Amino acid sequence: MIKLHDLEFEPYIPEENIFSAIDKIAEELNSIYAGKRPVFIGVLNGSFMFASEIIKRFNGDCEVSFVKMGSYEGTTTTGTVKTLVGLNQDLKGREVVLLEDIVDTGNTLVEIDQILKNAEVADYKVATLFFKPEAYKKKVPVQIKGIEIPNKFIVGFGLDYDGLGRNLTQVYKRKENRMTNLVLFGPPGAGKGTQATILKDKYNLIHISTGDVFRFNIKNKTELGLSAKSFIDKGLLVPDEVTINMLNAEVEKNEGANGFIFDGFPRTEAQALALNSYLESRGTEVHAMIALEVEDEVLVQRLLERGKTSGRKDDADEAVIRNRISVYYNETAILKNFYQKQDKYYGVDGVGSINEITERLSAVIDELMK
């Protein structure tokens, strides 16, 4: 186990496996470029160790460049004009091998692809030491892959965490807290509150309801509560930053918990990204968005029936009920899409007895906890 800055990392890929993968890549490159003189381009900063090992193993003549992506317009960084800093040779008609330490999102690869096409190279291939198939969604082909890995945060052999770890000769992955974190959703009348209470007890999870957190902070006049109240009193929406800070404080109160059920949050993609970022900083993540799915007419009848005893005016007016349901779907459609793209969305039939619905939810959670 090692610690870099504030995060702990555990051994993941030993040195011998890395060099075995490099030998295999080098063998393939020697076969493809036998009798040719390719240009090897290492993409900095991460590829320096991988590139040096590949170039040492190449049997023929070759040229070598190391480049970095830059964004320039004159001397001002704009984020829109892309260039390869360090590329000082004419590549027209040349065969190029792009050496990457890791291909995950592929954003840099897309930019380099266009630059090389504009340079009129005869052909180029991408050789990467590590490849994350779950994360890579781009169309640029990656022809030569060393080791395929899950979408985990790794350091070592050129890869870093905030500047540290590049010199490690084996690869480490971030130590993950064994937690199960769920985003629980359901339209009005779906029984989400009832199920959240059952599930938190069954799996020993912490139930964090946005509404409860707001009420607690405002009632107890905490700094965050006073901040939230100042917006509410003006009829304004509470900024995401205040809301996420409240939830962060709840998570931190329960250090060492088995996991959390987030109820009523996130509501927007920006909030979902903020929650992801915060949980990642603590070595964990949202594992699933679970939504209770119930037909509108069933919901309307449930709420009208509940209205007979609840005393809530919004449970007694059918037009209000239908509007609440419509608002729910408009809000959650974005989040459903957000989590579906990560294969983290689970729709669960919310019709049946309380026990039947609990069993369906439990089947999803049990699978996640394997």
Report, as an integer, the average pLDDT of 334-356: 92
Burial class, 301, CB count within 10 angstroms (exposed 0-12 / middle 13-18 / buried 19+): middle
Task: Choose, from 267, 282, 336, 360, the residue flagged as catalytic.
Answer: 267
Picking from 344, 310, 303, the residue whose alpha carbon sits closest to that of residue 325 is 303
The confidence score (pLDDT) of residue 8 equals 84
From edge to edge, which strands make up the β-sheet containing 82-85? 82-85, 63-71, 39-43, 95-103, 123-131, 144-148
Per-residue pLDDT at 52 = 97
Give the mean model confidence (pLDDT) for residues 313-322.
83
Which entry of 68, 306, 336, 344 is annotated as an active-site residue? 306
Instruction: Evaluate whether the domain defined by 2-174 bears CATH number 3.60.20.10.
Output: no
Which tens digit of pLDDT belongs to each residue from 79-116?
A: 454 667 878 889 999 999 999 999 998 888 998 999 89
Q: Is 312 a catalytic residue?
A: yes
| Confidence label for 25 from pLDDT (cuts 50, 70 and 90) | very high
Lowest mean pLDDT among 27-41, 79-93, 130-144, 222-236: 79-93
Read off the pLDDT of residues 278-297 as tens digits, 9 standing for 90 and up. Answer: 888 777 899 999 999 999 99
* Catalytic member of 132, 145, 174, 192: 192
Taking all residues of the chain, what is their mean pLDDT, rounded to a whole number?
Answer: 89
pLDDT at 240: 87
| CA 308 to chain CA centroid, nearest Å | 44
CA distance 193 to 91: 63
Q: Which of 117, 178, 312, 341 is catalytic?
A: 312
Mark whether 267 is an active-site residue: yes
Taking the C-alpha atoms of residue 193 and residue 207, their distance in angstroms, rounded to an integer, is 10
Q: Is the pLDDT of residue 312 over 80?
A: no
Task: Give the pLDDT score at 133.
Answer: 92
Give the pLDDT confidence score for residue 292 in this predicted structure: 93
Residue 177 pLDDT: 63
What is the separation of C-alpha 22 from the centre of its chain, rounded to a whole number of angstroms? 28
Does residue 74 carry a pLDDT above 80? no
> Which CATH number describes the domain made up of 182-368?
3.40.50.300
Distance of alpha carbon 130 from alpha carbon 138, whole angstroms = 16
Kindly indicate the confidence band of residue 70, based on its pLDDT and cuts at 50, 70 and 90: low
192 labelled catalytic: yes
Domain boundaries along the sequence of the chain? 2-174, 182-368
Q: Is the pLDDT of residue 60 over 80?
A: yes
